[in-house]
Structure 1
């Protein structure tokens, strides 16, 4: 048995992101910390998503998304998009449209516009492997790290 797994796993360095999704009609976004580059050629990113969430339905329907890198001053944004079941979750934030049609968070540091290559099972989540279609800097700043978010995601009780 692992003593204090929540604190130990938070020491694995990774950032905090908002994943923007659409099905062409509806849009949503969610906070993610399990994101990584998995290939140079083609440029691929992978992220973990809970298949029970509304965002997964939209992602499955369209197979497009954006990965928006949050800065250290974006704690409130991470917290907002980490909540489930909010009506009009996108309201109150500035959005742009990516080439794929997925929403880009205008306040992010960097965005990656992606098409899903494939999904794979990963325990209680799915892994979306995505080919990057476009990417750009939008704002200056330093990326937020997952361990800087404390218990925002409630992960301690999940272990």
Structure 2
């Protein structure tokens, strides 16, 4: 693989998000950069998730999530939710409920309240296609871009 791939991927214009998931008993959240709009009618978003992560189990069981848009200056939040060694990530920040009942990060710029429509395997991840039930701007600001995170996710080591 091209040793520059990790650096070149930083040029993809993608934001940074905290995706909160819930089922009947559990709530969890993780940082994601691989999120995109895929349909106007119905409004749909897609994101990629590692099936080995704890959040994946909850998402598959509950079938709903919120996609929370982070601001450029919220790198500590992205780092916190990107750390897979923290089991109870939800207690470090304040949450409110979206209309569907899924948690929404109060300090996020905006959120999308979603229900999973279907999924498909994609290499070492799974792509989740979600219908947007509701969306709201919470704060005005500049969204964080993946390039703003440096090597927070360790991608440089994964492309070696």
- TM-score, structure 2 length as denominator? 0.97
Q: Secondary structure at the match of 2:66?
A: strand
Match for residue 53 of structure 2?
A: 53
Q: Provide the rounded CA distance (Å) in 1 between the counterparts of 2:40 and 2:27.
A: 29
Match for residue 156 of structure 1?
A: 156
Match for residue 111 of structure 1?
A: 111
Deviations 1:81-102 (A, max 9, x none): 0000313211120101112221
The equivalences for 1:49-88 within 5 A come to 49-88=49-88
Q: Secondary structure at the match of 2:91?
A: coil
Deviations 1:20-62 (A, max 9, x none): 0011211000000000000000000000000001100000001
Match for residue 127 of structure 1?
A: 127
Q: Provide the rounded CA distance (Å) in 2 between the counterparts of 1:54 and 1:46.
A: 19
Match for residue 14 of structure 2?
A: 14
Count of matched residue pairs: 159
Q: Secondary structure at the match of 1:91?
A: helix
- TM-score, structure 1 length as denominator? 0.97
Q: Secondary structure at the match of 1:90?
A: helix
Structure 1 gaps of 5+ residues are: none
Instruction: Note if contact 1:71-1:141 (Cα within 8 Å) is conserved in structure 2.
Output: yes
Structure 2 gaps of 5+ residues are: none
Q: Secondary structure at the match of 2:92?
A: coil
Deviations 1:86-128 (A, max 9, x none): 1321112010111222110000001000000001010000000
The two structures, once aligned, show a CA RMSD in angstroms of 0.8
Q: Provide the rounded CA distance (Å) in 1 between the counterparts of 2:3 and 2:27.
A: 40
* Deviation >6 Å, runs of 4+: none
2:147 equivalent to 1:143? no
